[in-house]
């Protein structure tokens, strides 16, 4: 079977070869490569389109190898490879400006608030569940930055394992 | 017949479990390993029972429970206590189950170091000295050429330290992530199933004897943080102490948080994370149906390895006989190499 991938590579010599080398060793064939050095994205990385052919098992091994090499897979078979994660904040969320909190999170690079559910506990603290869509490989970045925002506002943050 | 003469220090829940476990298993141990276990002394905070020819395990438990102290043991009851017990009788192995103290580490530290100096092996369930002076204590054991085992200090009956170090010895271990405190797991599980607030659930757990009268060590994450330090040192070889762990407990968890998490397919658990970059105890979201989805007072841990992938263990993190079982396993492993 075939698999289409879009990867992101650093613009340094040797990057492309180093990722193509392992493919045949893992039992997959490279059908096409499109490497556009002029299409550098805002992060300064170059998108590379690959089409691979092989047994599903071998294709999975290639994906695993890319993960191990810390290579970002932006797209797989036409679907963006975004991650969906959740976090909970507890504290004086309303008093400390909810709007500002979500704006600050949305302003983070590659992090988008896609769901927000808040429950008030009378006069006391409130609790919010925030659903996020994050670009591939950005999960830890997102959690670290939200922890900073929560820290400034004295909110307890509960993250996914 | 070879003989292993034992002192039991601390005769509360765990100490009595040790006595019972020895009583139940000494015949099996004698038959399989060719060593006779003999309890030559047992001590609580102010008294002891001492007899070089051996004490009867079940009579120790009976004496302690009927009179409140071990001096009530017929004929061999005594007022000798603390470090003096180690000089009052000839012994081979100290089984130490005194209360955990994470400020001074005493009485465990003094007792353990003295036993090492006397050339004796030690098996413990205590976390205090391990959490604040792991390096010092293990080094002292090495210098004195004695065995020092502490499987029960993390996860009670759940196999983890010896399991990771021996059964998984071909693997490099990258991290351990788990639920290492049964009391908080019970409270959070009840809050989830009953929709009840934290304060009421805590009170109910205290009435059931699951949470202690002073629940601070458990609910503020201190107990789990001690275990984090022990795993960091013993399994991952990280030279860490209690102060290196970032600790958040569960006392700020609202029933609203549990409800919101539930609606989104998550549970809230007190999770300990042990890796080269992170030593942390904090409430976290875990997916329902995942390995972290365990109820009641159970403990679990997922060990992430380089060769074997993820390996998960689960078991009872506390309990008298359960904790004693881990200590007796430690004793057997010493018998195998030394006797
Ligand atoms: N309970 C569990 O399931 C469990 C699980 C894993 C690890 N642990 C650890 O195991 C240890 C014992 O726990 P536990 O539940 O058995 O505690 P416990 O029921 O409170 O018993 C503690 C015992 O230690 C005695 N003691 C206090 N100070 C002493 C001293 N200076 N010298 C000698 N004995 C002294 C007490 O004497 P009195 O009887 O005179 O008060 C009591 O008999 C703790 O370190 C705990 O963290 C417990």
Give the domains, in start order, of chain B with CATH numbers.
2-157+320-338 (3.40.50.720), 163-316 (3.30.360.10)
Give the domains, in start order, of chain A with CATH numbers.
2-80 (3.30.70.260), 83-159 (3.30.70.260)
CA of B314 to the centre of ligand 1 (A): 24
pLDDT of residue A42: 67
Percentage of residues in chain B with pLDDT exceeding 70?
100
Q: Compute φ and ψ for B142, nearest 5 degrees.
A: -60, -50
| Annotated catalytic residue B227 | yes
Query: Is B291 an 8 Å CB contact of chain A?
Result: no
Give me the torsion for CA of B90, B93, B94, B95, rounded to 10°.
-140
- Tell me how close the Cα of B221 comes to any Cα of chain A, in angstroms: 14
CA of B14 to the centre of ligand 1 (A): 7
Rg for chain B, CA atoms, rounded:
20
For residue B163, the cross-strand partners are none
pLDDT of residue B245: 98
Give me the torsion for CA of B154, B155, B161, B167, rounded to 10°.
180
Contact at CB, A161 and B282, closer than 8 angstroms: no
C-beta separation of B146 from B116 below 8 A: yes
ipTM of the modeled complex: 0.80
- The DSSP annotation for B62-119 comes to HHHHHHSSGGGSTTTEES--GGGHHHHS--SEEEE-PPP-TTT-TTHHHHHHHHHHTT
Average pLDDT of every residue of chain B: 97
User: For B8-31, how does the pLDDT look when each residue is reduced to its tens digit (9 = 90+)?
Assistant: 999 999 999 999 999 999 999 999
Percentage of residues in chain A with pLDDT exceeding 90?
48
Query: Is B292 an 8 Å CB contact of chain A?
Result: yes
User: For B74-119, how does the pLDDT look when each residue is reduced to its tens digit (9 = 90+)?
Assistant: 999 999 999 999 999 999 999 999 999 999 999 999 999 999 999 9
pLDDT of residue A20: 85
pLDDT (mean) for B165-188: 97
C-beta separation of A30 from A7 below 8 A: no
Residue A80: is its pLDDT beyond 80?
Answer: no
Q: Two tokens at B250?
A: 């569960």
| pLDDT bracket for residue A44 (50, 70, 90) | confident
Q: Which of A131-140, B40-49, B122-131 has the lowest mean pLDDT?
A: A131-140
Q: How many CA atoms lie within 13 A of B98 on its CB side?
A: 25
B327 pocket-lining for ligand 1 (C-beta < 6 Å): no
User: For B202-215, how does the pLDDT look when each residue is reduced to its tens digit (9 = 90+)?
Assistant: 999 999 999 999 99
pTM of the model: 0.87
- The DSSP annotation for B150-201 comes to -GGGTTTTS--HHIIIIITTTS-EEEEEEE--HHHHHHHHHHHHH---HHHH
Q: How many CA atoms lie within 13 A of B325 on its CB side?
A: 13
CA of B126 to the centre of ligand 1 (A): 8
**Distances from the Cα of B47 to the Cα of B80, B112, B207, B227, B303, angstroms:** 6, 19, 30, 30, 42
Residue of B nearest to A118 (CA): B260
Residue A81: is its pLDDT beyond 80?
Answer: no
User: For B259-299, how does the pLDDT look when each residue is reduced to its tens digit (9 = 90+)?
Assistant: 999 999 999 999 999 999 999 999 999 999 999 999 999 99
pLDDT of residue A16: 86
pLDDT of residue A9: 87
Q: Which residue has the higher pLDDT, B115 or A76?
A: B115
Strands, E assignment, B244-309 = 246-247, 266-275, 279-287, 298-305
Residue B128: is its pLDDT beyond 90?
Answer: yes
Q: Compute φ and ψ for B278, nearest 5 degrees.
A: -135, 125
Residue A83: is its pLDDT beyond 90?
Answer: no
B109 pocket-lining for ligand 1 (C-beta < 6 Å): no
Query: Is B277 an 8 Å CB contact of chain A?
Result: no
Query: What does the alpha-carbon distance between residue B84 and residue B67 come to, in Å, rounded to a whole number?
Result: 22
User: For A1-40, how does the pLDDT look when each residue is reduced to its tens digit (9 = 90+)?
Assistant: 899 999 888 888 888 888 888 788 899 999 999 987 777 7
- Tell me how close the Cα of B168 comes to any Cα of chain A, in angstroms: 22
pLDDT of residue A123: 67
Percentage of residues in chain B with pLDDT exceeding 90?
100
């Amino acid at each position: 079977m075939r698999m289409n991938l879009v990867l992101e590579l650093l613009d340094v010599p040797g990057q492309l070869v180093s990722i193509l080398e392992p493919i045949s060793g893992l039992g997959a064939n490279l059908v096409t490569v499109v490497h556009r050095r002029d299409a550098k994205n805002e992060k300064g990385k170059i998108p590379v389109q690959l089409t691979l052919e092989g047994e599903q098992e071998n294709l999975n091994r290639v994906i695993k190898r890319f993960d191990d090499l810390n290579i970002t897979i932006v797209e797989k078979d036409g679907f963006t490879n975004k991650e969906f994660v959740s976090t909970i904040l507890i504290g004086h969320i309303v008093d400390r400006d909810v709007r500002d909190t979500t704006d600050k999170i949305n302003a983070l690079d590659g992090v988008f608030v896609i769901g927000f559910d808040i429950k008030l506990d009378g006069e006391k603290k409130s609790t919010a569940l925030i659903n996020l869509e994050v670009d591939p490989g950005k999960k830890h970045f997102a959690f670290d930055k939200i922890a900073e925002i929560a820290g400034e506002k004295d909110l307890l943050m509960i993250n996914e394992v | 017949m070879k003989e292993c003469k034992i002192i039991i220090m601390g005769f509360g829940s765990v100490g009595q479990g040790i006595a019972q476990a020895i009583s139940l298993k000494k015949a099996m141990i004698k038959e399989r390993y060719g060593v006779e276990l003999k309890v030559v002394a047992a001590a609580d905070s102010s008294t002891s029972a001492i007899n070089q020819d051996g004490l009867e395990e079940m009579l120790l438990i009976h004496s302690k429970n009927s009179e409140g102290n071990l001096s009530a043991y017929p004929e061999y009851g005594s007022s000798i206590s603390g470090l003096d017990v180690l000089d009052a009788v000839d012994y081979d192995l100290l089984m130490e189950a005194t209360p955990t103290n994470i400020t001074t580490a005493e009485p465990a530290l003094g007792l353990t170091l003295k036993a090492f100096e006397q050339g004796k092996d030690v098996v413990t369930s205590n976390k205090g000295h391990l959490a604040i002076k792991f390096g010092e204590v293990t080094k002292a054991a090495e210098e004195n050429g004695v065995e020092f085992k502490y499987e029960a200090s993390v996860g009670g009956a759940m196999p983890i330290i010896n399991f990771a170090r021996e059964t998984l010895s071909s693997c490099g271990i990258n991290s351990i992530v788990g639920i290492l405190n049964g009391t908080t797991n019970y409270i959070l599980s009840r809050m989830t199933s009953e929709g009840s607030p934290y304060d009421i659930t805590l009170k109910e757990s205290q009435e059931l004897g699951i949470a202690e009268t002073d629940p601070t060590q458990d609910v503020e994450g201190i107990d789990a943080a001690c275990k984090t330090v022990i795993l960091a040192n013993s399994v991952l070889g990280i030279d860490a102490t209690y102060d290196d762990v970032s600790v958040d407990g569960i006392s700020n968890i609202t029933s609203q948080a549990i409800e919101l998490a539930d609606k989104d397919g998550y549970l809230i658990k007190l999770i300990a994370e042990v890796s080269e970059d992170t030593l942390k105890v904090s409430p976290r979201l875990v997916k329902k149906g995942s390995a972290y989805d365990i109820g009641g007072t159970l403990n679990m841990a997922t060990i992430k390895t380089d060769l074997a992938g993820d390996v998960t263990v689960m078991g009872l993190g506390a309990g008298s006989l359960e904790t004693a079982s881990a200590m007796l396993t430690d004793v057997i492993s010493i018998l195998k190499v030394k006797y």
